[in-house]
Amino acid sequence: MTEENKSENAGNDLNAKTATTPRKRSWLRFWGVVALAVVATVLGLALLVNIFQRKQEERNPFFRVVELTDDTVDPAIWGKNFPLQYDDYLKTTDQVRTRYGGSEAEPRTPTQADPRSIVAQSRLEEDPRLKLMWAGYAFAKDFREERGHAYMLEDQMFTERQQVTQQPGTCINCHASVYVAYKQLGGGDIVKGFEQLNRTPYFEARKFVTHPVACIDCHDSQTMQLRVTRPAFMEGIRAFKASQGIQNYDVNKQATRQEMRAFVCGQCHDEYHFSGPEKRLVYPWAKGLQVENILAFYDEQKFKDWEHAETGAPVLKAQHPEFEMWNQGIHARSGVACADCHMPYKREGALKVSDHHVRSPLLNINRACQTCHRWSEDELKSRVETIQRRTYDLRNLAMDALIDLINDIKAAKGAGRTDTGVRTAQDFQRRAQFYLDFIESENSNGFHAPQEAARILGESINFSRKGQVALRGGV
């Protein structure tokens, strides 16, 4: 190789080096731009598909996959047509506490008689005074915090109350999906089926039902419109409307759509009693929905749930009067139905569905409260808890007063007294106890009607103290 060639080669090498670097750079730049364009295309397409999906959802609110009839009990079948509602309905198995309510999951060892491995906390252990209030009644044996709808059938079946007393089939009216069972038992007539079910002992009646409350208990299978399926509510609301001067009220024909969004819940969430030897389920509303109207109704019927084991007083057990208490509150007054707070609307894509995960609004404040109340979640929660704490404190005062009265009557009877003072005190016990239980068993801790709850507890305390005065020769 000559010197010249060498230098030429060296020059070439140098040229090659300087030439590759800008070429590499331009390649990088080229692929960089291509990659960005690819990412932009992918994002653009993803957005396009998302918008397309929302537009489709808006157009097709529902696909009919199966044919539903007036005899379809199984909610899973309804769920094929209404998957969003069904998914939420299944969530009522949740056990979540709120400050003053809600159920906690407690593990237990399953037994032959009770195969449940999880139950809710015992209210009797939380407050042993309840045992004295209910002495001689099955509730003094076993009373737990209520769990979600999904558990209504098994919790009713396995409660220890079943072991200490023979319960009638009437209980099933609100612990299972009974509409189709009514039809079968009554040969197509739900009122006949209802009467038949009431007469049948609990464990025999249990064989006619399979599901906890299901779609068909509130919805018409063809139109999905809300409807009342419980004869006890139809009769109860008819009697109540008659007391207001409206004769022959037919709830399924005359109620508005918004009223129905409370009435379907009111089918079960109210005070009741089993009337006569045929154990007919009757809602005591013929004189009105307030506690004194209901007590007056029972007094007129000379009805008692049991005789108190310690005092011999003819006492009553109040049961979850949510419908009655809600009726006394500001929300009912403003036209807000149960479903507005306990099943608020929620968004699923472009669809709006009512949340079938029925639960405490405190667990769902944004959807339940903030539709109307424009305050922060913390503020709203603390407002509710203030009401509940005040009610709870007053309830404890009323409970102490009642226990004092029970102990006084017990002592008087122990001393052999049978005079009118004792009988008056027993009557006051009946009143005090029913008023207190009306709030104790109501599942909102005063929230549904705060002032009414305070009034009732105040009156309960007054009855208890008056009973004590009666024993001392006063009144």
Partner 1 sequence: MFERNVMNLRLAQGLVLGVTLGLAVGVGAYTFVYARGYSYMTDNAEACVNCHIMQEQYSGWLKSSHRAVAVCNDCHTPPDLIGKYTTKAQNGFWHSYYFTTGWFDDNIQITPRGREVTEKACRNCHQEIVEAIEGPHAGASEWQTSCLRCHNSVGHLH
Instruction: Summarize as ranges the residues that interact with partner 1 (CB under 8 A).
Output: 30, 33-34, 37-38, 40-41, 44-45, 47-48, 50-52, 54, 58, 344-347, 349-350, 366-367, 370-371, 374
Residue type, 133: M
Residue 340 sits at the vertex; the CA angle it makes with 335 and 342, to the nearest 5 degrees, is 130
- Residue 95 CB, shortest distance to partner 1, in Å, is 24
The pairing of strands 314-315 and 106-107 is unpaired
Query: In angstroms, rounded to a whole number, what is the distance separating the alpha carbons of residues 159 and 52?
Result: 52
- Residue 370 CB, shortest distance to partner 1, in Å, is 4
- Residue 29 CB, shortest distance to partner 1, in Å, is 10
DSSP three-state, residue 352? strand
Cα–Cα nearest to 104, from 89, 125, 81, 90: 125
- Residue 16 CB, shortest distance to partner 1, in Å, is 13
Cα–Cα nearest to 324, from 237, 411, 433: 237
- Residue 272 CB, shortest distance to partner 1, in Å, is 35
- Residue 34 CB, shortest distance to partner 1, in Å, is 5
Query: Which of 14, 47 has the CB closer to partner 1?
Result: 47
Query: Which of 110, 349 has the CB closer to partner 1?
Result: 349
Residues 6+ apart with CB under 8 A from 96: 102, 103, 359, 360, 363
Query: Which of 58, 70 has the CB closer to partner 1?
Result: 58
Query: Which of 14, 40 has the CB closer to partner 1?
Result: 40
474 touches 424 (CB < 8 A)? no
- Residue 344 CB, shortest distance to partner 1, in Å, is 8
- Residue 26 CB, shortest distance to partner 1, in Å, is 9
Structure tokens at 110: 């399953």
Query: Which of 25, 54 has the CB closer to partner 1?
Result: 54
Render 203-231 in DSSP notation, one character per residue.
Answer: HHHGGG--SSS-GGGTB-TTT--B----H
DSSP-derived letter for residue 121 is P
Query: Which of 184, 371 has the CB closer to partner 1?
Result: 371
- Residue 5 CB, shortest distance to partner 1, in Å, is 21
Query: Which of 252, 370 has the CB closer to partner 1?
Result: 370
Please return the burial class of 183, using the count of CB atoms within 10 Å of its CB with bins 0-12, 13-18 and 19+.
Answer: middle
Q: Phi then psi for 306, rounded to 5 degrees? A: -165, 170
440 touches 446 (CB < 8 A)? no
Residue type, 123: R
Q: How far apart are the first and last CA of the chain?
A: 136
Query: Which of 62, 203 has the CB closer to partner 1?
Result: 62
Query: In angstroms, rounded to a whole number, what is the distance separating the alpha carbons of residues 141 and 213?
Result: 26
- Residue 399 CB, shortest distance to partner 1, in Å, is 38
Residue 97 sits at the vertex; the CA angle it makes with 345 and 389, to the nearest 5 degrees, is 95
Residue 98 sits at the vertex; the CA angle it makes with 318 and 158, to the nearest 5 degrees, is 55
Q: Phi then psi for 356, rounded to 5 degrees? A: -85, 5
446 touches 390 (CB < 8 A)? yes
Residue with tokens 């449940």: 116
Query: Which of 34, 65 has the CB closer to partner 1?
Result: 34
- Residue 164 CB, shortest distance to partner 1, in Å, is 46
Query: Which of 44, 201 has the CB closer to partner 1?
Result: 44
Query: Which of 88, 305 has the CB closer to partner 1?
Result: 88
